[in-house]
Copies of this chain bind each other. A is one copy, B any other.
Amino acid sequence: MPKMLVPLAEGFEEIEAITIIDVCRRGGIDVTVAGVTGMMIKGGQGIEVAADCPIDLVDINSYDMITLPGGLGGTLVLSESENVQSILKQMKDQGKYIGAICAAPLALHTADVLNNDFTCYPSIENQIRIDGYRQDQTTVIDGKVMTSQGVGTAIDFALKIVRQLQGESSFEELKESILA
């Protein structure tokens, strides 16, 4: 069973985070929700979600992927967290999958782990770079780095993570069962 880490920091975008966790668990991925700003984390729309463990206790060697939800407040914390930035660099060095949606590709840029092609919430590319920005794609896969645009593309993004980690038939079956 592939393992994925989802770090949550105060101000995270709730639909993006919950969609990634929920869809990937439905797709047979073992998802750990890691608290960056405590064990109860409040999202940008005021919804509080419980972490499975604090990020400090995570053994990243056992993970196949790390995926960051968006929300500008949460993204700034993930960009400034030495721990999260160090984990991103180690995952990249180990050839693991890395994902981010909405504003969060900015935190990948800060860690210098983006590949050439990426997408993000429109306007955030101005804080990353224009070269390689793909506004025309809801989800971009460049090597092992997956990025997506925002709330409205979260299901597409999560389903494509399932396809990468679990294969085409898991993807198709799941897509149908959630009416996506």
Interface residues of A (CB under 8 A from B): 13-15, 18-19, 21-23, 25-26, 33, 40, 43, 45-50, 121-122, 149-153, 155, 178-180
Contact = CB atoms under 8 A, between A and B. Distances in A.
Contact of A179 (B14, B25, B49, B149): B149
Nearest to A43: B22
Nearest to A49: B49
In the complex, the count of this chain's copies comes to: 2
Question: Is the contact region of chain A dominated by helix, strand, or loop, or is it mixed?
Answer: mixed
Contacts of A15: 15, 18-19, 22-23, 155
A178 B155 contact: no
A38 to B, nearest CB: 12
A33 B49 CA distance: 13
Contacts of A21: 14, 45, 47
B46 A49 contact: no
23 contacts: A13-B22, A14-B18, A14-B21, A14-B22, A15-B15, A15-B22, A18-B18, A21-B45, A21-B47, A22-B45, A22-B47, A25-B45, A33-B47, A40-B50, A47-B50, A48-B49, A121-B179, A122-B179, A151-B155, A151-B178, A151-B179, A152-B155, A152-B178
A178 to B, nearest CB: 4
A180 to B, nearest CB: 4
Contacts of A153: 179
